[in-house]
Structure 1
Amino acid sequence: MENSGSNSAFSKFVNDKIMPPVMKFVNTKAVKAMQDGMIYSLPFIIIGSIFLILSNIPIPAVAAAVQSSGWAAFFSQAYNASFGLLSIWAVVGIAYVYVRNEGYEALPAGLTALSSFFLIQLMQIDNPVKTAMVNGTTGATAKAVAASVNHLPAAVKTLVTSPVNGVFNLTWLGGQGMIAALIVGLLVGWSYSAMIRKGWKITLPEQVPASVAKQFTAMIPAGVILFVSMFIYAGFKIFMNTDFLQWVYELLELPMQGLSDSLLGAVVIGFAVSFFWFFGVHGGLIVGTIAGVFLMPNTAANAALSHAGRLTLANGAHIVTNEFYNNFINLTGSGITIGLVLFTLFFAKSKQFKTLGKIELVPAIFNINEPFLFGLPLVMNPFLAIPFFLTPVVVAISTYTVIATGIVPPLNGVAAPWTTPAIISGFFIGGWKMALWQACTLAISTAIYFPFAKKYDAMLYKQEEAKLAAEAAAGNAEAEKI
């Protein structure tokens, strides 16, 4: 198969002009630290998702039984201590990986980042009485609490409605603190490495045990970082009456979440994965790293709403989350190639298609399609480029639409592992309606790929028949000579 001149020119332009800066960005120290550092949160996200399911089983009768037994509270505690600490895992992991990649002892940097992350936030929560007045479980509850408080003497009223100090606010330890955690992790990793590189460390005699000496090595960088963090905290507290996390959330995270959680955001993400893969670059890795920064807080926010029994768009649930990306845009692999698999198994005539279809079937069930990407191939294949680009975009648009219109509920924040088979993952992340919709996306993939695969298969079959005819003719000619 030969590419046309225009296709070669286009691919040359992309490879020469577009991919170098993109790859340079992807391979920067900061992006590598985010990509590898956030991986450390994955076990807690998946395990926490299990506890989230158990505390909110999508079967009303079972959920009621779990609630009445008291076990829902235990599952909630486990969820809060795993998935609910998403920002903690991120800030430690990012600083750790950054310093590790620089070749230095990394754990002290991760712990320094954690201490700094705690230091720059107000250690307080709203008083439960005030919360009940504003967000009572029912209107009657809120009115009753407010009426009781209003009859108290002014001094007592102020006391019972004042913030509770000296406690961590779990809100900022979860998804809402994610962008701030990324910033802190990167800044601590960079500054810690720079100070070690410049020799800002205490060096003890060789007789001192290495485990002790390493901690003294970390003392000066950690001390400088924590002093700076303290002044940052003081500045925000004195001059803005807020903290760094709240400021970052309002200035950066809310707008970024809004941009990613849009139809345009879904389309761009769906297109970008296939675009990079088409030119042989790991689109899932690149897009997942960049988009995940914004999509993971969306997932955490939905998980919190689901945990509270308030998962609706009206209550602020997000449509485009990390599970939207993993379990729809990348369903059965980048490009959503299950339709191509089904064609090769049941309708293909060419030996190449049939053979690769048998190889790809099992990996496709677990959302892996490298045998197709490089074996068929889909990479740099103009004959299958249109369905490869189009399918994820169509699925992104249609999935966004069915959630936005209420046909299917928002994703519940459960993080099904990306290798979870289609339909099963749909049930975990959104119940039976989401599982049914995943089945519909498989049908969409089949419908889009079928006509293009049929033409490509016919071309391959014709080439194989011509090759067999040529080999047969050559064999006959050789026999005649004998």
Structure 2
Amino acid sequence: MKNKFFEKKFLPIASKIGNQRHLLALRDGIMFAMPLMIIGSFFIIVAWLEAEWYQNFMAKVFGENWNAFGDIVYNGTMGIIALIAVFGVAYSLASSYKVDKKNIDGVPAGVLALAGYLIVNIMSTFTVDEESVSAWSPDLFSAQYLFLGLIVAIITAEIYRFFLQKKLIITLPDTVPPTVSRSFTALIPGFVIITLFLLLRYAFSYTGWETFATFIQEVVTKPFTILGSTYIGTLIASLLEHTLWSFGIHGSSIITSVMEPIWITNADANLAAVKEGKALPHIITYTFYENGIWMGGSGATLPVAIYMMFLAKSKLLKKVGRLAIGPSIFNVNEPIMFGVPIVLNPFLMIPFMLAPIAVLTVTYFGTAMGIFPHTTGTIIPWTTPYFISGYLMTGGKIMGVVMQLVAFAVAFAIWFPFIKMWDKKNLEMENASNNQGVSSSSSQTIQG
């Protein structure tokens, strides 16, 4: 009865949430910046790896300022995350709509979103050689203003698609080249979008916030960041993610589309602190969750893969273990999710939810007490093998590996009794099936 209730009531709602176009656009748009974040992080790890022996060796070989390239690459990769996300989210959201059964070309929406983003942000005044220079602060391009960029992108895409769907555009004959036609198509919605953000800029200059950017930072970014940076906020996100996964819905995709901007912003703040030699302000970052809590994938299932590979007695789990061990090393656990299975399995849903919560608890409070190091803010691929990621995400600290060893032991202790009982149950079913087959075969021989 419970399964029927979830199938009829819960799954349709969860599926709608999973396919919600704005959440998908946030996820896909931020993914535009992911290659730059990973490449930038690689150079930052090379430049700022905190291992003393490494820094001393590199300084002797290449000179005292050998790692100056770290700042240069950072500014050109991770330093422009907000700009890339603005374009990516507006492009992805606009492209998800259709006009005359064809997907909208999202490129103009992305370009207009970039223009709107720069319009709402007021230039700062800097003094260079005793002369005043007006320029946009570099902070506006980084993850610090990511929420502002996402809001501008969504507003732009929605206005742009509205004008296209209502045919409130300049239409040129089919003989006109597409690039020219695209430019004229964007004129009317573009004029409205630019005017709107210009009015927003002037309107907020008469408020206590003074700028639209400050308003978003105070009213949206800070509360969300505080919530997503806490143990409780992350615990809730983990519970929602794994509840959705338990019913076969890609919970990671849904939850990270909401939480990723927060965790990336935290990572950027930690990275800035590393550069300045200050204490790292955040425990919860992008890598803390995606390279720490995702041990072998959602549900901290790496211990399950290892158990099945080396300890399982049933044929089913042995076979799944051989198939799953490779992907699990790189944090891909679909073979386990659907092969064991964990999805729609009330018995295994328990450790699937408990293990990541336990890992989060141990690593969070261990870091808060100073036992484990903070993650430095570098973005490494979520497919980086466990233990290697612990070393890299903490800036080359062995205690980062120790943290993951402790987390692995905790997850294994939670998973072990459940997966052992599930293995025993499968073995009993296989033996019963074999005995039934033997008895059936014997009776046929006697009758013959």
Q: TM-score range by the shorter chain?
A: over 0.9
Q: Which runs of 5+ in 1 are unaligned?
A: 1-7, 130-158
Paired with 1:303 and 1:23, the residues of 2 have a C-alpha distance of 36
Q: How does 1:322-361 map to 2 (within 5 A)?
A: 322-361=286-325
Higher radius of gyration, 1 or 2:
1
Amino acid at match of 2:55: A
Which residue is 1:53 aligned to? Answer: 45
1:189 paired residue among 153, 157, 165: 157
Partner letter of residue 62 of structure 1? Answer: Y
Q: What is the rounded CA distance, in whole Å, between the counterparts of 1:25 and 1:481 in structure 2?
A: 59
1:79 to 2:43 alignment: no
Equivalence for 2:334 = 370
Matched residue, 2:119? 119
Corresponding residue SS for 1:166: strand
Normalized against structure 2, the TM-score is what? 0.92
Q: Is the counterpart of residue 414 in structure 1 residue 382 in structure 2?
A: no
- What's the counterpart of residue 149 of structure 1? none
Contact 1:266 1:397 in 2 (8 A): no
Say what the alpha-carbon RMSD is for the aligned residues: 2.0
- The residue number in structure 1 matching 2:100 is none
Match of 2:89 in 1: 94
- Taking every aligned residue pair, what percent have the same amino acid on both sides? 31
Counterpart residue number, 2:219: 251
Give the conservation status (yes or no) of the 8 Å contact 1:422–1:439. no
Q: Is the counterpart of residue 237 in structure 1 residue 232 in structure 2?
A: no
- Counterpart of 1:210 (choices 178, 181, 185) is 178
Q: Report the secondary structure of 1:189's partner residue.
A: helix
Matched, 1:451 2:422: no
In the TM superposition, residue 463 of structure 1 has moved relative to its aligned partner by: 1.4
Instruction: Determine whether 1:31 maps to 2:26.
Output: no
The 1:206/1:475 distance shift into structure 2, 3 A limit, reads closer
In structure 2, the CA distance between the partners of 1:279 and 1:201, relative to structure 1 (3 Å rule), is same
Q: Contact 1:123/1:165 (CA < 8 Å) preserved in 2?
A: no
Q: Residue 246 of structure 1 aligns to a residue in which SS? A: helix
Offset, 1:165? 4.6
Q: Secondary structure at the match of 1:199?
A: coil
1:459–1:105 distance in 2 versus 1, CA, 3 Å: closer
2:228 to 244, 250, 260: 260
Q: CA deviation at 1:390?
A: 0.6
- What does residue 136 of structure 1 align with? none
Aligned residue for 1:88, secondary structure, equals helix
| Worse-superposed segment, 68-77 or 332-341 | 68-77
Give the counterpart letter for 2:136 in structure 1.
Answer: F
Listed as ranges, the gaps of 5+ residues in structure 2 are 98-102
Contact 2:119 2:201 in 1 (8 A): yes
- Give the Cα separation in 2 of the matches to 1:304 and 1:413: 8
Instruction: Map Cα deviations across residues 268-290 of structure 1 (whole Å, 9 max, x no partner).
Output: 12222221111111111122212
Measured in 2, the distance between the counterparts of 1:422 and 1:416 equals 12
**2:14 maps to which residue?**
22
Partner of 2:110: 110
Are 1:270 and 2:270 matched, yes or no? no
| CA shift for structure 1 position 217 | 1.4
- Cα distance in 1 between the residues matched to 2:10 and 2:176: 53
Matched, 1:309 2:309: no
C-alpha distance in 2, partners of 1:44/1:15? 40
Using the TM superposition, give the Cα deviation of residue 175 of structure 1 relative to its aligned residue in structure 2, in angstroms.
Answer: 1.5
Greater displacement, 58-67 / 24-33: 58-67
| 1:12-43: CA deviation from partner (whole Å, max 9, x where unpaired) | 33333334333323323322211221111110
Q: Which residue of 1 aligns with 2:401?
A: 435
Matched-pair contact (CA < 8 Å) for 2:80–2:141: yes
Tell me, in whole angstroms, the C-alpha distance in 1 between the residues paired with 2:66 and 2:226.
Answer: 35
Deviation sequence 1:390-435 (CA, Å, 0-9, x none) = 1001001111101111111211111110111001111111132112
Q: Say whether residues 1:300 and 2:264 are aligned partners.
A: no
AA matched with 2:212: F
8 Å contact from structure 2 (residues 17, 254) kept in 1: no
Q: Give SS of 1:384's match.
A: helix
Q: Does the 8 A contact of 1:391 with 1:445 survive in 2?
A: yes
Task: Show CA shifts across 1:179-223 (max 9, x none).
Answer: 111100000000011112222322334454332221111122112
Question: Paired residue for 1:132?
Answer: none
Q: Distance in 2 between matches of 1:266 and 1:256?
A: 11
**What secondary structure is seen at the aligned counterpart in 2 of 1:331?**
coil
- Which one-letter code corresponds to 2:360 in the other structure? A
Query: Which stretch of structure 1 is more off in the superposition, 44-53 or 13-22?
Result: 13-22
Mapped pair 1:388 → 2:352: yes
Tell me whether 1:460 sits opposite 2:429 in the alignment: no
Counterpart CA distance in 1 for 2:390 and 2:435 is: 48
In the superposition, relative to structure 1, how do residues 208 and 463 fare at CA in structure 2: closer, same or farther (>3 Å)? Answer: closer
Moved more, 196-205 or 371-380: 196-205
Task: State TM-score, norm by structure 1.
Answer: 0.86
Query: Does the Cα contact within 8 Å between 1:416 and 1:425 map onto a contact in 2?
Result: yes
Counterpart Cα distance in 1 of 2:272 and 2:8: 45
Matched AA of 2:77: S
User: Take 2:63 and 2:221, find their aligned partners in 1: how far apart are those partners?
Assistant: 37
Q: Is the 8 A contact 1:172 1:245 kept in 2?
A: no
**Structure 1 pair 29–381 and aligned structure 2 pair: CA distance change class (3 A):** closer
Partners of 1:128 and 1:339 in 2: CA distance: 57
